[in-house]
Chains A and B, each alone.
Chain A
Amino acid sequence: MSLSRLKVLLQEVQSLPELKSASWIGFREMRERHRTFVGQDGHVRETSTGESHGVMVEVFVNGQMGYAATPAITSASLRETTIRAFKQAESASRWSVAKFGFDGNAPLVRPTVKGHYASPASTARTTSAELAELVVEITKRLKKSAKIVQTLCYVDWLDGESRLVSTSGTEVEQGLEGVILHFEATAQDGGITQKRSDGENLQGNLQLLKDPSLWNRVDRVAEQVLELLAAEECPSETTSLVLLPTQMTLQIHESIGHPLEVDRILGDERNYAGWSFVREKDFGSLQYGSKLLNVTFDPTVTDELASYAFDDGGNPAKREYLIQDGVLLRGLGGLESQQRSKLAGVANFRASSWNRPAVDRMANINLEPGTSSFDEIIASVERGILMDTNRSWSIDDYRNKFQFGCEYAKLIENGKLTKTLRNPNYRGITTPFWNGLKMVGNASTLQTHGTPNCGKAEPNQVIRVGHRSPVCLFTNIEVFGGGA
């Protein structure tokens, strides 16, 4: 639907007598298309397309927002849906946890803005048949040995658009294109089973699926899963830990991203995902990590999964430091959380789809590069473990005590990578862990990853987030292996 047509539909409902005491009305139209291809063991397992399309209507009454969502984008349906949203706002306004003020005819938490955003244009084109053949080929190539008992490859090519219009004059149009690629091999020998995987979660470009280096990565997964079958178990000890960006993604996500969400700090999330050890008084003073820790909220990075120009409340998005020189500066709070907490925040008020209300989410949360090369980091370690690619993750409801596991590890002895280790795990507590950050890799070690499946909120939502990180070295970390 065009922005102008959506505006016409909004103008039609604006004049309804049932809505005369509505302070503000906004429409958020979202359409998202997926093309998903799954290959398994040399065969195609699934080819599917999906499209979800609808409108979220928000109405403010007495400082309270009520919402209603519909997949029927017609005059009649939007009239009925807007009245439903109005009644929710009106009824709920007697029991509001917070009332939101206005600046003229717009709520302070829904600024009047105009603008647009589009993902970087794809330079590659492909057909469904080609993508189906690609996932099959990857699973065939992964099967390098009879010990590899299962191979799997998944490609999700997504293409979405959203439009915001409001009675105060907001007009925003944004488009997103992205690719999720994942491939894995499972190997077995006797009673031992191991899995190794690789993939990408990027905005913009299908080019990565046509890059010849993809096949080197496929080969490496197959070789390393076989290597793991014969590897020693990760030892149990307290030691130095080098995390590659594939695992830093998870570490940043769980122990920096989630605890800094201001709606968690305000208690909205405590019945589901949990609370946070971070308190409002900690901003500006808490030494979250060592002085080498610099973390940004950055929705401007070209290829990261959660880059955009405006959040779903219309707040213009820009890069901000969350943690600088190890000190906590700013939380992940959208305009509603900023008003409630009186804390500085970011443009992170996001919804997973047209059928969910926006809440505080991560977007791109990045750990800024330092000055050390990969070789310098490894050479500095007398004894330690290097871990690659997340396999297991668990953290408490205050985001303190975590335990994470990886697919693949290497022992570091006297500054050199030596034996391969299987079933590597480590555990720790968030701020002591980050204060043990001893070296941060330079830009040559940076990689961009992310996840399409960050879960949160009631009603539940999964959303895409990006994380870019260099290689990092931590000291005094408890590591251990697997077993029953």
Chain B
Amino acid sequence: MIRSSAAFQEHFDALTSKAFAALGAGQVLACELIAEDSQFVRLNAAKVRQAGQVQDATLRLKLFIQSPEGIRNGEASISLTGEETEDFPRVKAALESLQKEVPQLPLDPYAVLPQNRGNVEQIEEGNILGAEQVFDQLLPEIQGVDLAGIYASGSMVRGTANSLGQKQWFYTENFSLDYSVYTPMEKAVKSTFAGSRWNRSEFSQDLAQSKSLLAAMEKKPVRVPRGSYRAYLAPAAVSDLVGMFSWGCIGERAIRKGESPLRFLRTGERRLSALFSLTEDFSLGVVPRFNGEGDVAPEKIDLVREGQLVGSLVHSRTGAEYGVSSNGATSYEGLRSPSMASGSLKRDDIFKRLGTGVFLSNLHYLNWSDPFEGRITGMTRYACLWVENGEVVGPIETMRWDDGIYRFFGSELEAVTDFRAMIAETGTYHHRQAGGMLMPGMLLKSMNFTL
């Protein structure tokens, strides 16, 4: 369906141009396109469980109708086929339905009309494996180890256009192999090998490193009693914690409504560590800078600088409600491309500085245990180790932890690594997601383990 970025862009332009031509007086239309041409190969025991390809495209139309009373609006989304003869009748029917229904809806006092702020185009063509090549390139490499995971690859499109003339286009071709390898005792190491250009020897190196870490997991497991311990969180584990900022935390609406635990940081009642700085950083180039409505974010948005809350993610609707400037956030006001500042802890010093405590490669199933106070619970997962006097004793048995962001990023934060890792977004709910997080590791004075 997506023969090339240019061909699909032409199709999108043709559909939206015809739709804009069908608008009446006082009507403004904003369109968003999400499309992909993907391959998925699911692996278990280093064999293929399921393999297939998905072509998908969804067009969302949002119609605004202005009247002397105010603004009404409504949305419709439809599947596209990539063929104009099939697609335009669908677009026309959806638009006509909106034109009929929206005048009947209540006024929306916080609706923000689209604007023309100029065009953004970001195209990255890759060199990824063909749909049948992947079996010959990947499967021979992974034999001899118990491996489970998902290989996902292909092209992804995000586009917007509005009837005032603004157009945005993001196209990328990439792949990810999100995998884990296992010992016979079911201890595991996790990795993600991702990029826009497949390189078999680089994948071999990545897998070799995972296998080498797996050797440490062969040691006798350690049952650590409940309690508070020193802890090192590797970048993937830190990405899970930082991901919680997207759950009603760093969004301006959540702060204003009193739901976000960061409201205490804004009022100065609580503090975070000067070692903690967080930025929404679109210069990483992994996601489009525009949101679904075509609002373009600044290249960098400082959110927390040396422990001080200096920004938040503001959607246009929140901006209208509270009279503040939007910064191109999604309606969800979650992080899309976060980077956390590095510190001074060197890789070679991690175990020595940890001393006696827990090394955590990954966390699992995080949720707020007290959303309004910022307390999070979750599990340990994959390569988590008990360390004594800087030496690895063995993998730990899975533990539950329950602790707060004002401790993780505040009172208990002892050091941040001088290196960072790009944690690729591998989510595929509804469609393949774009994105990633640039995260360092964190050394904590203490972390509470509860079960």
Contact = CB atoms under 8 A, between A and B. Distances in A.
Contacts of B56: 54, 69, 71, 355
Contact of B373 (A266, A400, A483): A483
A268 B44 contact: yes
B400 A401 contact: yes
Interface string A47-67: 111111110000000001111
Interface in B256-303: 257-259, 261, 264, 269-270
Interface string B71-84: 00111111111110
Given A271-B179, A275-B186, A49 B76 contact: yes
A132 B103 CA distance: 12
Interface string A81-114: 1001101110110111110000000000000000
Contacts, number: 263
Nearest to A47: B74
A376 interface: no
A463 B366 CA distance: 20
A146 interface: no
Given A74-B86, A394-B367, A459-B40, A49 B97 contact: yes
Nearest to B381: A397
B57 interface: yes
Interface stretch (B145-153, B203-211, B352-360, B388-396): B145-153
Interface in B398-451: 398-400, 402, 404, 406-407, 427-430, 432, 450-451
A47 B106 CA distance: 10
Interface stretch (A187-195, A288-296, A318-326, A364-372): A187-195
Interface stretch (B46-54, B230-238, B340-348): B46-54
Nearest to A81: B55
A92 B43 CA distance: 11
A18 interface: no
Interface in A159-181: none
B54 A395 contact: no
B79 A462 contact: no
B259 A88 contact: no
A193 B370 CA distance: 10
A401 B131 contact: no
Interface string B126-137: 000001100100
Interface of A: 43-54, 64-74, 77, 81, 84-85, 87-89, 91-92, 94-98, 127-129, 132-133, 136, 149-150, 186, 188, 191-195, 266-268, 270-272, 274-275, 355-357, 359, 391-398, 400-401, 403, 405, 423, 425, 427, 429, 455, 458-462, 482-484
Contacts of A391: 371
B361 interface: no
Contacts of A53: 79
Contact of A186 (B102, B105, B150, B259): B259
B328 interface: no
Interface in B99-113: 101-102, 104-110
B166 interface: no
A392 to B, nearest CB: 5
Given A64-B48, A394-B367, A396-B364, A69 B258 contact: no
B368 to A, nearest CB: 6
Nearest to B405: A484
Given A84-B131, A92-B41, A274-B364, A72 B49 contact: no
Contact of A46 (B44, B75, B451): B75
Contact of B52 (A46, A54, A69, A94): A69
Contact of B370 (A66, A272, A461, A482): A482
Given A54-B79, A483-B373, A186 B104 contact: no
Contact of A191 (B57, B81, B264, B377): B264
B55 A71 contact: yes
Nearest to B35: A71
A268 B148 contact: yes
Contacts of A65: 50
A147 to B, nearest CB: 10
A84 B428 contact: no
Given A48-B76, A396-B379, A460-B428, A72 B370 contact: no
Nearest to A358: B50
A92 B451 contact: no
A482 B371 CA distance: 9
Contacts of B337: none
Contacts of B47: 95-97
B86 A94 contact: no
A128 B15 CA distance: 26
B104 A129 contact: yes
5 contacts: A51-B76, A71-B57, A268-B42, A401-B398, A460-B427
A394 B372 contact: no
A132 B109 CA distance: 14
Contacts of B106: 43-44, 132-133, 136
Nearest to B58: A52
A52 B400 contact: no
A47 B108 CA distance: 10
A69 B44 contact: no
A484 B178 contact: no
Contacts of A47: 73-75, 101-102, 105
Contacts of A49: 74-77, 94, 97
Residue among A150, A355, A455 with max Cβ neighbours from chain B (10 Å): A355
B91 to A, nearest CB: 12
Contact of B429 (A64, A359, A455): A455
Contact of B369 (A81, A186, A192, A405): A405
Interface string B142-164: 00000011101000000000000
A217 B255 CA distance: 28
B245 to A, nearest CB: 16
9 smallest beta-carbon distances between A and B, as pairs: A67-B52, A482-B370, A72-B81, A458-B150, A48-B75, A459-B428, A97-B47, A193-B372, A129-B104
B7 interface: no
A97 B180 CA distance: 16
B374 interface: yes
A462 B431 CA distance: 11
B216 interface: no
Given A95-B47, A396-B398, A458-B178, A69 B367 contact: no
A67 B51 contact: yes
A211 to B, nearest CB: 22
Residue among A50, A81, A403 with max Cβ neighbours from chain B (10 Å): A403
Nearest to A76: B83
B113 to A, nearest CB: 16
Contacts of A46: 75
Contacts of B257: 149-150, 186
B364 A459 contact: no
B150 A484 contact: no
A459 B75 contact: no
Interface string B178-211: 1110100010101000000000000000000000
Contact of B258 (A54, A193, A423): A193
B378 interface: yes
B139 interface: yes
Nearest to A458: B150
